[in-house]
Amino acid sequence: MDKKRLHHAEIAPAAAARARDTAAQTQHGEGPASGDRPPKLGEILVAQGKITQEQLAIALDRQKTSGRRLGEELVKAGFVKRSVVSRALRIQRRIVFGALTTLAAATMSPHLHAAARSQIAVTAFVPAQTVGQLVQQRPEITITDADIARGYVEIPGASQLRVTSNNPAGYIVDFFSRLPIFTSVRISSDGGSADLGPDGGAIIERGRQGRDLPLNLSYRFNLAAQVQPGTYAWPLALNVRPL
């Protein structure tokens, strides 16, 4: 790896499913950002370029009086085919599953802590522990016509974390995609930068051990061809775990 890239960091290409699976195996980690939510059906369809913001607004307005589901309203209005709605719903379910899996891992952490304490009392073995605290996370990303013409959008200082790790080997930060609005993303910190694909991936921070280690991240999203101008939910979720 280029020495100018993240200090002691390596990129481990991974699909979003792998990031979710590893999150479920995390003993002590930080789940999705506080306030982070899975994208709504309309947001996914707009991000894919299947409908426009105006069509979404019309369908939402009609839904108030019809009582139909949004997907049914979009199909009835002729804005999109039923098969397209079905695919978008499958994407949404996968994202929700990933968020719930990470949340389950975080929820189990106190029980794992108790088990670890019992083990320490008997064997004096200290398991690797890593806790990531998301201090600040930008909740949305706004894409303009100028960004689309340029092909990318830069978001400086979008994520600020504090990581506590007792593992001298370091820790891992997993990323997985929540919206299909980019083809790749460059993630930068004070130590350099690294590139991830459209499905996310992982940054391995080697040799990072201590309390409240700062990790400030900036992003450059290379935009997908179908993206339209607008404001979207933040397109990446992250998880911190021991190496």
* Residue 182: how many other CB atoms lie within 10 Å: 24
Which pLDDT belongs to residue 95? Answer: 64
Per-residue pLDDT at 173 exceeds 90? no
Which pLDDT belongs to residue 134? Answer: 84
- Residue bearing the bigger pLDDT, 141 or 165: 141
Q: Of 232, 241, 31, which Cα lies nearest the Cα of 138? A: 232
* Residue 217: how many other CB atoms lie within 10 Å: 23
* CA 165 to the chain's CA centroid: 21
Q: Please state the domain extents for the chain.
A: 9-242
Which pLDDT belongs to residue 44? Answer: 84
Q: Quick check: 60 and 71 in contact, CB under 8 A?
A: no
Bridge partners (DSSP) listed for residue 130: 165
Q: Quick check: 239 and 163 in contact, CB under 8 A?
A: no
Which pLDDT belongs to residue 156? Answer: 93
